[in-house]
Structure 1
């Protein structure tokens, strides 16, 4: 979902959530794998847990002309 908050208000939200550098906390390691104007793909490892998990955020463009690009990106990310 797109945010309508300006930069200063988003900084306040980030700090109140305890996030460093925007997306990670002290006890969570976040490794950026890829990003584009349509996606954010990260690998997440929590302290005390040996398992890692993926988070992929995807923005589906409202424009029909972008439909194939976004589907191809999603297919590639699923591999």
Structure 2
């Protein structure tokens, strides 16, 4: 038999990500986070799932600050 794959429960993933179990459940229900489902109430996450979740959460930092726009400039662009 092949090596067992480590699977995380919702509670374990929430602890790993330092978020609430409710947040994990909401993301799963919305289809925003990958997961394995073994029945109506059994949801598990693989290491690959965790990596995908973390990659999707990566925020790129912009080096340039955008100048604040004036309402007058925005209105003139609409005309």
Q: TM-score, normalised by structure 2?
A: 0.22
| Higher normalized helix content (fraction of residues) | 2
Structure scoring higher RCO (CA < 8 A, sep ≥ 6) equals 2
Which of structures 1 and 2 has the bigger CA Rg? 2
- What's the TM-score once normalised by structure 1's chain length? 0.22
